Structure 1
């Protein structure tokens, strides 16, 4: 149980930080578009990476010296672009949450999450594979630690995705949507700055 709880709360504390992936899940939850598929995809992706880390791949950054640097600069470039996209949406304004109208196909939503916000996000690898993987080595019961970490991911993403709809009345106002886009942009740029400055 101590290993399970440690894994659960470590994973939860890492995921709670606002990032591109979380912002995407929040947006899909507000739009009520393919929420289950998006939450499931993010949680399963985390589960695979956590499993890889706990299984012993946490030493990847040490074994391959250029791995962390490549992830840092590649991730920073993507986050700068993603932040600009949201900043432009905030600048344009005039958009409000619409619960009706054409929805994105499930394929396009999952591909956007897969290609950009999950597997190309350096924080995902550093937090799950490297950090959780290395910390799990301190526990004799690594299986319980890993299960706790995976469960935290499922709990968080489904809570975020389905809890977002409680905020939908607020996001019917164009100004609220502008504020959200602006906050997402600033967050992405702050993360990118941290990566470029060598932070984690």
Structure 2
């Protein structure tokens, strides 16, 4: 049981610890101290649902209906391009980079909606979390749910650590120039991911 859980934890971390749209968003919200718990909760809960779905057999369904992944791939590419444009706009216009200085915060609804979109409109989450994790969990037989528990724990540890640990970087991002660099990198990452999705469609 312990071996299966550790295997799930290790594979879960290896899949999630990478520069991507979701992680970039969690990092940005953590730096802004804006609805961090809500974003962490949404990302973690979404991963848990997807892991359990994969282990429960949804991966087999997606394998038989690849067109579903194609639909999500196109929708995700469009969304990522739109988010990339917003990030590029923030990088070009420093006045909108640091809302703390202006005393304004983004409403909870749009922030949660963005977190949901970055998670559920990402086709890689279905390929990695549902298909890959689900398939490998099956190799653990009766201990596959321990494997799933380890993978779910990996998501919780990573998102909680990323969201709350971002505050350690706050001194660096006290300068508007640092926010411009971050948003520029986010725009580049989002654009690259969007085109990679379009090219693989």
TM-score normalised according to structure 2 size: 0.90
Q: Please name the residue that 2:31 is paired with.
A: 30
State how 1:149-160 maps to structure 2 within 5 Å.
Answer: 149-160=151-162
After superposition, the Cα gap between the structure-2 partners of 1:112 and 1:192, relative to the gap in structure 1 and judged at 3 Å, is closer
**What is aligned with 1:108?**
110
Quote the Cα distance in structure 2 between the aligned partners of 1:148 and 1:60: 23
Contact 1:96 1:172 in 2 (8 A): no
* Matching residue of 2:121: 120
**Contact 2:54–2:133, Cα closer than 8 Å, also in 1:** yes
- Residues 1:194 and 2:196 are matched in the alignment: yes
Q: How many residues align?
A: 198
- CA displacement at 1:65 relative to structure 2: 3.0
User: Bigger shift: 125-134 or 190-199?
Assistant: 190-199
Deviations 1:89-132 (CA, angstroms, capped at 9, x unpaired): 21223455354512233333222322x21222222222211221
Contact 1:49 1:129 in 2 (8 A): yes
Root-mean-square deviation (Å) = 1.8
1:8-157 alignment, distance < 5 Å? 8-99=9-100, 101-114=103-116, 116-140=117-141, 141-157=143-159
Distance 1:99 1:93 in 2: 13
Deviation at 1:57, TM superposition (A): 0.8
Shift of 1:147: 0.2
Scaled by the length of structure 1, the TM-score of the pair is 0.91
Q: Which residue is equivalent to 1:173?
A: 175
1:162 aligns with 2:171: no
Does the aligned pair in 2 maintain the 1:21–1:113 contact within 8 Å? yes
User: Which stretch has the larger CA shift, 87-96 or 143-152?
Assistant: 87-96
Contact (CA 8 Å) 1:98, 1:172: kept in 2 or not?
no
More helix by share: 2
Q: Is the 8 A contact 2:13 2:155 kept in 1?
A: yes
